[in-house]
Structure 1
């Protein structure tokens, strides 16, 4: 199928995810990101039912805070793939994993490669302590070199807290508006054996968690781990001949608005709306056709913002939507059904992809959705600067 047919919305997917693999996932040091990536890739290729030599494309994503040498292009040599037709490192910060899926899909649809492996790996948890120090460097929000460090604004938590407080103020909400997000995702995590935070959570328990940077409490923040996840992408035609259950890609989009500045929430803080419109146009659908979502949720706030900017809730209404239980188990728009980054595990943008594959292949066990339908998967990075989205479904035809 020509790429132009796909872009014009023929209703038939051109590409699919056909395999997924995990390394060991842990809150303890378990090896280098490079070693974990290799393990996940080998598992993904086996899951796809492919021979190791069938892979002719490799896309690599590391944390933007990691040393470039922690996950180099030389990973190709570790895997003994001497003649790849596609090899690159993808850097779009938290949107990178979804971008990898997009670029792999374009490559196989165009004939640049036949079977492309995409991998993200990270090892922020070190013997010296938890993952906090790995995420503490200042995130530029002012455009003035060194301003954040001089003012004591360290890490993504501080940068996102400014945006979150602006959102609350603009819509007349208080910080308790984030509690239902954390509670809903913990309820999903209790159904996911891979989730790291599975203990029952009450509103009182959420409110008892300490402040990190107001308006964020500890339980509003992602839970980083060491590990790697890889997935294999090929054409829908080839996927039909494989033993694994394919997950088909129907639409994709990106939106990179950069930081719009403070005091302008009414104009939209991110490029998510552009990413969503592009993905929906490609698939020939509307936001109302989406049955479930896997959002990039480094912080609880980003779930509310994503619901609104992807057109699933009107501006300012997402908090009430989540509080009514619509995103929780039994709700009409299930979101982050593995616990997301808050209660599941934080492996940046590959966490939402992995959960989408688990649901759409019918492998989610106790947390399985009866009918996942069309699933929105998102990634975002920087300080809400970079966005990517895909629309996935079980079938090749919507």
Structure 2
């Protein structure tokens, strides 16, 4: 059974405290239903995703009642960190294929920016205080930036990559963001501006890090050919890979894994990497774009830094990547960021940043410290 993405709804992406995740989820869901041309009563499945950590305002299954839904056949909260969005789509597909649901809404909302605190403070409290995480916290490794700085140093050591490669990612995604009205950072950026950015955890500068926002994205999936946006996007294939890293001596603790998720998704779609028109990758830090390009086999055998510096991911490049500015310059809403941009591009709604004749997209999601990989192939229906 063919399952299509038939509706997309997004809130304004804000860098200021404001609405709660519940309020944002309601807004995005209303937009998605309107885009699909349906009502709440037409939905019989609801999947909810939220940022990790125990927070009082975390979105959960109670959203069903507060969001205006009723008589659901499918209702779940899904949590695999940054791989959650594609996991929700896989779950919706399975339910629709099994006849357990017909039309499913997937929603993610977050509001890490609160009065008196920055997003970094909110995320620094996730991960727990026991085991390896407890040791890290006792050593001052709070949140993701210091740990991804360690990953970056390891990547540089193994590949010969440099800060010039990181800068190329940051400046390229910023160039894409200039054409995105939903992006929260749209000031032009060059290498000099990148190097002027404050160092947060060597070698990661502020501009190497994603921009969290208060916002929400919702999508509608259905097998019903009678509903949906006039431009239907078909889920051609999905895949996941969980390396289950232990980060102990005797083995590489950061890299390896992920390619299988892309291979599985392409295999289901009956496609190869050369069939991809665009790729929307999860990029919480600039180095992640580089390592995913290599691990997913998207740079054609060229070192990732060289591929990006040579314009491979830019407008007119061999594989335009993160065409809305990604999470570095667009907005950080975990796995919904790359999915929303893929839908916009394949619908031909990208405006100034539109990739001409884009019909197929790879959408990627990662979780934790590249611990979880998820991939999906989307295609614009003929």
Judge same fold: TM > 0.5, yes or no.
yes
Q: Report how far residue 68 of structure 1 moved.
A: 6.2
Normalising by structure 2, report the TM-score.
0.95
Q: Report how far residue 15 of structure 1 moved.
A: 1.0
The secondary structure found in structure 1 opposite 2:48 is: strand
| 1:293 aligned onto 2:279 | yes
Q: Which range is displaced more, 311-320 or 17-26?
A: 311-320
Offset from partner CA, 1:115-170 (integer Å, 9 cap, x none): 10000000000111321211213658995352101111111111111111111101
| 1:170 aligned onto 2:158 | yes
Asked if structure 2 preserves the Cα contact closer than 8 Å seen for 1:61 and 1:89, the reply is yes
| 1:50 aligned onto 2:43 | no
1:97 alignment partner in structure 2: 85
Change beyond 3 A, Cα 1:305–1:145: closer
For the aligned residues, what is the CA RMSD?
A: 2.1
The secondary structure found in structure 1 opposite 2:277 is: strand
Offset from partner CA, 1:189-231 (integer Å, 9 cap, x none): 0011111111110100001101111111100000010011100
Unaligned stretches of 5+ in structure 2? none
Asked if structure 2 preserves the Cα contact closer than 8 Å seen for 1:120 and 1:230, the reply is yes
Q: Report how far residue 266 of structure 1 moved.
A: 7.4
Offset from partner CA, 1:332-384 (integer Å, 9 cap, x none): 21000000000001111101010001001111111111121321001111111
| 1:324 aligned onto 2:297 | no
Change beyond 3 A, Cα 1:214–1:25: same
2:209 alignment partner in structure 1: 221
* Equivalent residues, number: 382
2:373 alignment partner in structure 1: 387
Distance, in Å, in 1 between the alignment partners of 2:133 and 2:171 is: 38
Change beyond 3 A, Cα 1:342–1:55: same
- From 12, 28, 34, the equivalent of 1:24 is 12
Change beyond 3 A, Cα 1:226–1:112: same
1:357 alignment partner in structure 2: 343
Unaligned stretches of 5+ in structure 1? 2-13
| 1:74 aligned onto 2:74 | no
Q: Report how far residue 52 of structure 1 moved.
A: 2.2
Distance, in Å, in 1 between the alignment partners of 2:355 and 2:380 is: 12
Distance, in Å, in 2 between the alignment partners of 1:261 and 1:130 is: 29
Offset from partner CA, 1:248-292 (integer Å, 9 cap, x none): 110100000022537889797143112111111111112222221
Asked if structure 2 preserves the Cα contact closer than 8 Å seen for 1:166 and 1:265, the reply is no
The secondary structure found in structure 1 opposite 2:265 is: helix
Asked if structure 1 preserves the Cα contact closer than 8 Å seen for 2:258 and 2:295, the reply is yes
Normalising by structure 1, report the TM-score.
0.91
Distance, in Å, in 1 between the alignment partners of 2:377 and 2:245 is: 25
Change beyond 3 A, Cα 1:295–1:262: farther
Change beyond 3 A, Cα 1:184–1:96: same
Q: Report how far residue 22 of structure 1 moved.
A: 1.3
